[in-house]
Structure 1
Amino acid sequence: MLKFEDVISGCAKNDNKSKEMVYKSFYGYLIAVILRYTNNKTEAEELVNDTFIKIFKSIHQFVPPKEMVTIERSFKAWTAKIASRTAIDFLRSRRSFLSIDDIDEHSQPITHINVITDLNVKDILKLLDDLPELHRLIFNLYEIEGFSHQEISKLINIPESSSRVYLVRAKQKLRELYAKTLISNYETN
């Protein structure tokens, strides 16, 4: 059985079997990453393929970790970053983002929900899918991918303050959607 390092080396040497192994191993993971940005399955499949093209073109830039993290885990994170940026570039090319500099993030009302429920991952992803595209994008970048507002503003070319406002709005919308889900689940039980 091949070691993962050998598969990466094979990809760097343009070996088709190695590329196929990487493609099959990481396709599901990368489609999940991209579906956090766009809820259109056809677009996501195209973006995953674009991601793999970028991965194979730049695989020689991948630097295996020196610390205790496995090479597979490090490679997975590296591919996720490429997938995220591919999705962001796609969204940026498709739509121009508006700035909302004059809105203060603290003026947004906050709804507190004191009910605890068992939401599974599918329920949470469904709530994210119901967010407006820009809200979902910024929520994913900040809360899931760990980007700062400064990094987000550079990535999608909006002011830092707009990123903060969109995040506040995304969280507010998620609270509202969550409350509706709770009420709906309560009424059906």
Structure 2
Amino acid sequence: MLLRNSMILVTLAGTALLSACGGGGGSSDSGSPAPTAEPVNSDTPAATSDAYDTIKGLYDTKAGDNEQYYYIGADGVFTAYNYLGDAVDAGDNCYRESTGDEANAKLNGETLEALSSGDFVLDVGGTDVTFTMDGSDVSKIEGGGINVRGTMALSFNGINIRLTTQRATAIAIDDVESMLCE
């Protein structure tokens, strides 16, 4: 009898222990809260690129028969393009990044700084050039004591620039990228 009572006690103790630990059954609810995921970092690239929504786009810096453009990407990166099939270059029917002493060539790869005012600054060889915004339009360009509401074509610290408030309307960045020289 003592052995039988001991067996019953061991069985009851084991059952109580398994119940307290949540052992056995198919339920995964243990009564404790589920672990929470780490918060997502708010400094994601998407948040950064939103800052450039108003200025991003292709700009037309054509000078006479010389077709040139620059593109400001969603990340604020500046890229200048030259069309080689125009009357000035008389080359292939394609675009390439501007090189050498061509306008804006030395600005390729530069990133504009987004200001809290909604305007943007581009460092041109140590001279800050500010793009003043009016909504999603560039209303003026200022740099080196010069303020223009159209096209700024000059040299700052040996860097030839041709910046404009005018977006390209006859061509899109997809057209330029699909016609890059090989």
TM-score exceeds 0.5 = no
**TM-score, structure 1 length as denominator?**
0.24
Question: Which of 1 and 2 has higher RCO (CA within 8 Å, sep 6+)?
Answer: 1
More strand by share: 2
